[in-house]
């Protein structure tokens, strides 16, 4: 037995021993708990984008893509304290009513929040009283404008997006390189949600001490832009705000014109995918699993022989991007997975694959 | 790994009782934390229950699902759950591993995913090459390559002998 073998078997034994008293819990075989989209077709492009962005945001933090958490604010109760619009409270009896919105975290404190107020898919930054007044008004929050210690803090409005059946909370802020964004996980990520995209305003004071030492600074709604437009998802700050007391003029706080709207075209089984075009398709695997993509432009498309499904997992029903690369190939894309589909020969059945 | 049992001859509950703990340990070392491991294990068995009548080799299948779910793509979903859980209530740590054991498995997880899975199944579960091939749904030759490369890389990183 090699040194590695001995070491590995010892640590394997330790891991097994640690779980010596583990007992199987009661399973909840409710299909709605299982990962992957199930239930009725539900995803508008907005809901999809929100979900994808949430996953990316949390992943970047969890998997080491993000720097360490922010330092605590010097005084979490500085200023007028958190204010909350009446609409922010979860409705009584709601299964999520017991998960409260955190009032502060490391390097930030909540100035106010409200559901169904303000504007969805929006950010704004304030460095002066006048800017904060305007920001507070645009965020749709009630009550007096809270105080911010401009010497040590700035104020940020995140116009987040929630959907009926998919409430969110702002749980943390992440500073990553030249970018600041919030984590706004959904309370029930696997819950079927409605097709609506509703605003949820969060206004927070952010400690300057945790801001990156870079100009410009990007303050955005998610780890990655939602990818479907709204230049105002990202506020670009052209001033070094980490400097205590520094202010930015309105001209130095602007949307990012690079976030150009992109409204996806959708296609259904039996439809047409023009050459070079990328379209959104609701993939239903059926009995053929990965083998059959669907019928497009009058022919059936099957998985190319040299294209391997991901990790040998069964496919799940859900949205996928299809790109017609050329006459003979369609590229199927979902996060971390790309497959090539080719026209099926006459008489092909998925058992042939 | 438990014996290959045709689903028609064994009720799911017996399979679950028998396989839960080893699968949970597998999820723990592949995912790197206890909470994700519990979530991954739960969802994998729940998925097995849904597909129970179609599984030819449920022991291999549930390990394959766990191995895949423990990868980054899936960990994001569980991380999202956890982010909320920390807001709702803090839960005391369970099934903590000693630091040196944690560090060893962290090195395993740094390997390319397939190598990490093969090495883990080999050492943690004492699976043979053919059993690992069944779990990962690939050829035995592929498993041998993953094992060889994974062990070599691991030995280098840990600065131990693999001869």
Judged against a pLDDT cut of 70, whether residue B17 lies above it is answered with yes
Residue of B nearest to A103 (CA): B87
Of B138 and A226, which is predicted with more confidence?
Answer: B138
Residue B65 has what pLDDT?
Answer: 85
Helix (H, G, I), strand (E, B) or coil at B2: coil
Q: Tell me the mean pLDDT in the region B132-159.
A: 88
Closest partner residue to A9 (CB to CB) among B65, B97, B123 is B123
Q: What is the CA radius of gyration of chain B?
A: 16
Helix (H, G, I), strand (E, B) or coil at A290: coil
* CB-based contact B116:B85 (threshold 8 Å): no
Say yes or no: B139 contacts chain A, CB-CB below 8 A.
no
Residue A179 has what pLDDT?
Answer: 92
Burial of residue A70 (number of CB atoms within 10 Å: 0-12, 13-18, 19+): buried
Residue A156 has what pLDDT?
Answer: 98
Judged against a pLDDT cut of 60, whether residue A52 lies above it is answered with no
Chain A CB contacts of B28 below 8 Å:
15, 18-19
Say yes or no: B96 contacts chain A, CB-CB below 8 A.
yes
Judged against a pLDDT cut of 50, whether residue B64 lies above it is answered with yes
The predicted complex's ipTM stands at 0.86
Tell me which residue of A161, A182, A155, A180 sits closest to A170, measured CA to CA.
A182
Range with the poorest average pLDDT among A7-11, A52-56, B129-133:
A52-56
DSSP letters for B9-29: GS-HHHHHHHHHHHHHHHHHH
Which residues of B, range 98-117, sit inside 8 Å of A by Cβ? 98, 100-101, 104-105
Q: Tell me the mean pLDDT in the region B43-55.
A: 82
Closest partner residue to B77 (CB to CB) among A8, A24, A189 is A189
Helix (H, G, I), strand (E, B) or coil at A11: helix
Tokens (6 digits) for A340: 């090539």
Q: Which fold has domain B97-163?
A: Arc Repressor Mutant, subunit A (1.10.10)
Say yes or no: B14 contacts chain A, CB-CB below 8 A.
no
Local confidence band at A76 (pLDDT 50, 70, 90 cut-offs) = very low
Chain A closest-CA separation from residue B130 CA (Å): 17
Rounded to the nearest 5°, which phi and psi values hold at A312? 60, 25
The angle subtended at Cα A111 by Cα A109 and Cα A115, nearest 5°, is: 115
Of B20 and B137, which is predicted with more confidence?
Answer: B20
Residue of A nearest to B14 (CA): A24
Domain residue spans of chain B: 1-96, 97-163
The angle subtended at Cα B135 by Cα B134 and Cα B136, nearest 5°, is: 95
Q: Tell me the mean pLDDT in the region B27-32.
A: 91
Residue A334 has what pLDDT?
Answer: 83
* Cβ-proximal residues to A162 (8 Å cutoff; 6+ apart), any chain: A50, A115, A168, A186, A198, A199, A200
The angle subtended at Cα A332 by Cα A326 and Cα A338, nearest 5°, is: 110
**H or E element at residue B133:** helix B129-136
Residue A201 CA to residue A116 CA, distance in Å, equals 8
* CB-based contact B16:B50 (threshold 8 Å): no
DSSP letters for A187-209: SSTTS---S--EEEEEEEEEEGG
Residue A235, strand partner residues? A219, A255
Q: Tell me the mean pLDDT in the region A102-111.
A: 92
Chain B CB contacts of A35 below 8 Å:
43, 69, 74, 77
Judged against a pLDDT cut of 60, whether residue B86 lies above it is answered with no
**A15 contacts B101? CB cut-off 8 A:** yes
Q: Tell me the mean pLDDT in the region B141-161.
A: 88
Closest partner residue to A34 (CB to CB) among B46, B84, B100 is B46
Residue A196 CA to residue B134 CA, distance in Å, equals 44
Residue A158 CA to residue A172 CA, distance in Å, equals 12
* CB-based contact A191:A124 (threshold 8 Å): no
Mutate: best of A9, A29, A162, partner B, most B CBs <10 A:
A29
**B65 contacts A185? CB cut-off 8 A:** no
Helix (H, G, I), strand (E, B) or coil at A152: coil
Distance of CA A280 to CAs A45, A313, A324, Å?
Answer: 9, 22, 12
Mutate: best of A19, A60, A223, partner B, most B CBs <10 A:
A19
Residue A104 CA to residue A171 CA, distance in Å, equals 9
Judged against a pLDDT cut of 70, whether residue B91 lies above it is answered with no
Say yes or no: B5 contacts chain A, CB-CB below 8 A.
no
Chain B CB contacts of A19 below 8 Å:
21, 24-25, 28, 95
Tokens (6 digits) for B105: 């498995």
Closest partner residue to B88 (CB to CB) among A30, A31, A99 is A99
Residue of B nearest to A59 (CA): B76
Residue of B nearest to A21 (CA): B21
Closest partner residue to A59 (CB to CB) among B76, B138, B154 is B76
Through-space distance between the first and last CA atoms of chain B, rounded to whole angstroms: 27
**A61 contacts B87? CB cut-off 8 A:** no
Closest partner residue to B68 (CB to CB) among A2, A169, A311 is A311
Helix (H, G, I), strand (E, B) or coil at B119: helix
Report the sign of the C-alpha dihedral through residues A132, A138, A141, A142, in that order.
Answer: positive
């Amino acid at each position: 037995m090699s040194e590695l073998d001995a070491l590995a078997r010892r640590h394997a034994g330790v891991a097994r021993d640690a779980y010596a008293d583990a007992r199987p819990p009661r399973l909840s075989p409710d299909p709605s708990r299982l990962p992957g989209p199930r239930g009725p077709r539900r995803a508008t492009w907005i809901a999809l984008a929100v979900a994808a962005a949430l996953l990316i945001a949390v992943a970047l933090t969890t998997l080491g893509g993000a720097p360490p958490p922010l330092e605590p604010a010097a005084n979490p109760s500085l200023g007028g304290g958190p204010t909350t619009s009446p609409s922010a409270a979860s409705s009584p009896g709601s299964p999520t009513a017991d998960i409260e919105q955190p009032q502060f975290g490391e390097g930030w404190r909540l100035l106010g929040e409200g559901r169904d107020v303000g504007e969805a898919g929006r950010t704004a930054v304030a460095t002066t009283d006048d800017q904060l007044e305007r920001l507070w008004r645009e965020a749709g929050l009630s009550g007096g404008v809270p105080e911010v210690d401009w010497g040590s803090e700035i104020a940020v409005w995140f116009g987040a997006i929630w959907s009926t059946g998919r409430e969110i909370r702002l749980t943390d802020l992440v500073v990553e390189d030249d970018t600041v964004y919030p984590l706004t996980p959904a309370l029930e990520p696997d819950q079927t949600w409605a097709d609506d995209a509703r605003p949820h305003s969060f206004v927070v004071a952010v400690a300057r001490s945790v801001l990156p030492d870079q100009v410009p600074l990007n303050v955005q709604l998610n780890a990655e832009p939602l990818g479907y437009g709204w230049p105002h998802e990202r506020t670009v700050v052209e001033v070094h705000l980490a400097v205590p007391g520094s202010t930015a003029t309105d001209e130095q706080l602007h949307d990012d014109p690079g976030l150009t709207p992109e409204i996806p075209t959708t296609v259904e089984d039996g439809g047409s995918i023009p050459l070079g075009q990328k379209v959104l398709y609701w993939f239903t695997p059926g009995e053929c699993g990965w083998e059959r993509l669907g019928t497009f432009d009058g022919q059936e498309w099957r998985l190319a022989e040299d294209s391997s499904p991901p990790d040998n997992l069964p496919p799940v029903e859900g949205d996928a991007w299809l790109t017609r690369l050329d006459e003979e190939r369609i590229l199927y894309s979902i996060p971390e997975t790309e497959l090539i589909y080719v026209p099926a020969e006459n008489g092909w059945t998925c058992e042939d694959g | 790994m438990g014996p290959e049992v045709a689903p028609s001859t064994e009720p799911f509950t017996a399979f679950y009782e028998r396989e839960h703990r080893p699968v949970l340990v597998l999820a723990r070392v592949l995912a790197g934390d206890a909470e994700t491991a519990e979530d991954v294990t739960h969802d994998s068995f729940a998925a097995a229950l849904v597909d129970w009548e179609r599984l030819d080799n449920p022991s291999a299948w549930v390990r394959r699902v766990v191995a895949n779910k423990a990868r980054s793509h899936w960990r994001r979903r569980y991380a999202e759950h956890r982010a909320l859980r920390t807001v709702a209530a803090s839960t005391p740590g369970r099934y903590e591993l000693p630091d040196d054991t944690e560090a060893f498995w962290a090195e395993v997880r740094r390997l390319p995913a397939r190598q990490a899975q093969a090495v883990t199944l080999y050492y943690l579960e004492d699976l043979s090459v053919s059993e690992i091939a069944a779990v990962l749904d690939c050829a035995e030759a592929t498993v041998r390559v993953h094992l060889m490369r994974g062990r070599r890389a691991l030995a280098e990183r840990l600065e131990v002998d693999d001869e």
